[in-house]
């Protein structure tokens, strides 16, 4: 226990330096801003801001990027409640009851309970990360290349099972991502692979270019597709602090939501996105009068919002301890860490304890800042919602191009984000989810390295993956999951859950 507290105090020592406080505040502010503006998600924003982090030290850079991620979860709920447009994929559920509450003149209470539930969930999740960090890292140090390879295979299978739409499409996207990660110079022989003799491809495809094209540019094109009508609430926002009755109705949903979100967030794949949906379904099942849901039930805001924030933060666990990104945002974090020369995984805690614990402490500080940013400034966010898209998108496009050019000063990079943007747009049009591709791309390089190491150690014998118990166990879990997901009855159920 003493160890735990000494680690946390080390973390707060790092997080409370003026520079890191400023970066956390900036991250939370930018996060809330993009959460509020529909159409620009945290993935696109973090991809756009990667170039800015080059000048910062790694801890500060990651504190800022993490702030953007969980800030967007808060901001997304504001738009969902006031405008009935979820600013974030995870705030879709909040819109169901939150917007109805706003129409009844209780927007303030909905926003208040969302922020308080999120803060509580964030605090619990931060403690969970701190508590699980040490034992998980101890476990991870037993891992050799064989186990790592199997763990990544399992992570990708989870990503397939939890992705939206058809399973075959998700598998296809992951394989395309892995293929793209092999473009460039071979790690061991120095031979060029799939570069078509183009010198610009000999270093491989730049991670930031792929992410910004597939998520930033494609997102803009998709938003230009459909005209957006905004149903901004005309009623007064009203008091922000929920009263005794509101608290009585919502404290249990907050506890249950935090628990569900924290567990689902740890799962590789899209676990964090499923949290709010699971919490909403559970609250509806447990309610004495389920017909209230969808008509402004406060539980329908409290549960999902808590699950959302808990999941957003516990999804850092697989990233920080095992080096495996569970979702597209965490894949961007891996990109940011590698840019700064940090190899994500169990060594982070032993080699860079200040980075690890500083980041964890900064999450709690960030959650506190978000309470301050969100509740008193609600009026400002409402005004921002009136900015027309025709002004917003050219600005975003310009930032994308400047940002990507500033990394390597290559005009070809700007052309590449245009190309990937078009590809990403077509993928969305044809019902392919682009997130698994980014995961495949990030994990592809690591998988190749570990596969080769494992085969060198075992002198080329593939049996090593089955002979080592941990590796065999992980592969077995992956195989069982795939088989279950492909069973017709389960597949139908899975499709129904996603359509709901």
Q: How confident is the model at residue 9 (pLDDT cuts 50, 70, 90)?
A: confident
Residue 240 predicted with pLDDT over 90: no
Mean pLDDT of 418-443: 89
Dihedral (CA of 451, 457, 462, 467) sign: negative
Which tokens is 414 given?
């700007």
Beta bridge partners of 185: 192
Mean pLDDT of 314-332: 82
Interval 249-260: pLDDT, tens: 888 999 999 999
- Select the more confidently predicted residue: 185 or 324: 185
Which tokens is 484 given?
């279950």
DSSP tag of 87:
S
CA neighbor of 280 nearest in space, from 298, 262, 268: 298
DSSP tag of 290:
G
Taking CA 500 as the corner, what is the angle to CA 159 and CA 313, rounded to the nearest 5 degrees?
A: 45
**pLDDT of the residue at 233:** 61
- In whole angstroms, what is the distance from residue 344 CA to residue 353 CA? 13
CA neighbor of 37 nearest in space, from 424, 402, 392, 435: 392
Q: What does the chain come to in residues?
A: 500
Interval 437-450: pLDDT, tens: 888 888 888 889 88
CA 76 to chain centre: 13
Q: How confident is the model at residue 178 (pLDDT cuts 50, 70, 90)?
A: very high
Q: How confident is the model at residue 229 (pLDDT cuts 50, 70, 90)?
A: low
Interval 45-78: pLDDT, tens: 887 787 778 788 888 998 999 898 888 888 888 8
Alpha-carbon separation of residue 435 from 129, 170, 190, 202, 211 (angstroms): 24, 9, 30, 25, 10
Interval 180-196: pLDDT, tens: 999 998 878 888 998 98
What one-character-per-residue DSSP string does 33-85 give? HHHHSTT--HHHHHHHHGGGGGGS-HHHHHHHHHHHHHHHHHHHHHHHHHHS-
Whole-number percent of the chain with pLDDT over 90: 16
Mean pLDDT of the residues in the chain: 83
Burial of 262 (0-12, 13-18, 19+ CB in 10 A): buried
DSSP tag of 118:
H
The lowest-confidence range among 133-142, 364-373, 392-401 is 133-142
Percent helix, strand, coil in the chain (nearest 5)? 75, 0, 20
């Amino acid at each position: 226990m003493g160890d735990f507290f000494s680690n946390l105090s080390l973390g707060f020592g790092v997080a409370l330096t003026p520079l890191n406080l400023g970066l956390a505040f900036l991250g939370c502010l930018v996060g809330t801003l993009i959460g509020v503006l529909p159409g620009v998600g945290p993935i696109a924003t973090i991809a756009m801001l990667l170039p800015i982090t080059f000048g910062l030290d790694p801890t500060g850079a990651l504190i800022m990027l993490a702030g953007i991620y969980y800030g967007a979860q808060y901001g997304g709920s504001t738009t969902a409640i006031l405008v009935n447009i979820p600013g974030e994929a995870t705030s879709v559920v909040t819109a169901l009851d939150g917007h109805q509450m706003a129409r009844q003149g209780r927007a303030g209470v909905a926003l208040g309970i969302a922020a308080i539930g999120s803060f509580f969930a964030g605090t619990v999740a931060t403690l969970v990360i701190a508590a699980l960090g040490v034992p998980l890292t101890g476990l991870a140090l037993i891992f050799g290349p064989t186990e790592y390879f199997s763990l990544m295979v399992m992570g990708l299978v989870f990503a397939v099972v939890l992705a939206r739409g058809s399973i075959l499409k998700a598998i296809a996207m992951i394989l395309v991502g892995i293929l793209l990660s092999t473009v460039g110079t071979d790690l061991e022989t120095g031979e060029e692979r799939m570069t078509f003799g183009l010198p610009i491809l000999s270093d491989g495809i730049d991670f930031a270019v792929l992410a910004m094209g597939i998520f930033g540019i494609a997102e803009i094109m998709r938003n230009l597709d459909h005209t957006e009508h905004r149903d901004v609430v005309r009623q007064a926002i009203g008091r922000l602090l929920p009263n005794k009755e509101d608290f009585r109705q919502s404290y249990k949903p907050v506890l249950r939501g935090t628990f569900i979100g924290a567990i689902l967030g740890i799962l590789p794949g899209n676990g964090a996105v499923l949290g709010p949906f699971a919490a909403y379904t559970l609250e509806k099942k447990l309610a004495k009068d389920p017909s209230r849901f969808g008509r402004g039930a406060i539980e329908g805001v409290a549960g999902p919002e808590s699950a959302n924030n808990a999941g957003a933060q516990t999804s850092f666990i697989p990233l920080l301890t095992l080096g495996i990104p569970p979702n597209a945002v965490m894949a961007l974090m891996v990109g940011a860490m590698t840019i700064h020369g940090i190899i994500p995984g169990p060594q982070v805690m032993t080699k860079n304890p200040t980075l690890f614990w500083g980041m964890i402490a900064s999450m709690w500080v960030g959650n506190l800042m978000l309470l301050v940013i969100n509740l008193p400034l609600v009026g400002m966010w409402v005004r921002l919602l009136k900015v027309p898209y025709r002004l917003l998108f050219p600005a975003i496009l310009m930032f994308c191009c400047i940002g990507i050019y500033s990394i390597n000063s290559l005009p070809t990079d700007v052309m590449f984000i245009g190309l990937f943007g078009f590809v990403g747009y077509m993928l969305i049009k044809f019902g392919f989810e682009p997130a698994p591709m980014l995961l495949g791309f990030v994990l592809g390089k690591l998988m190749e390295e570990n596969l080769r190491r494992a085969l060198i150690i075992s002198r080329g014998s593939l049996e090593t993956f089955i002979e080592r118990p941990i590796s065999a166990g992980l592969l077995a879990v992956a195989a069982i999951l795939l088989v279950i997901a492909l069973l017709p009855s389960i597949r139908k159920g899975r499709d129904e859950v996603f359509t709901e």
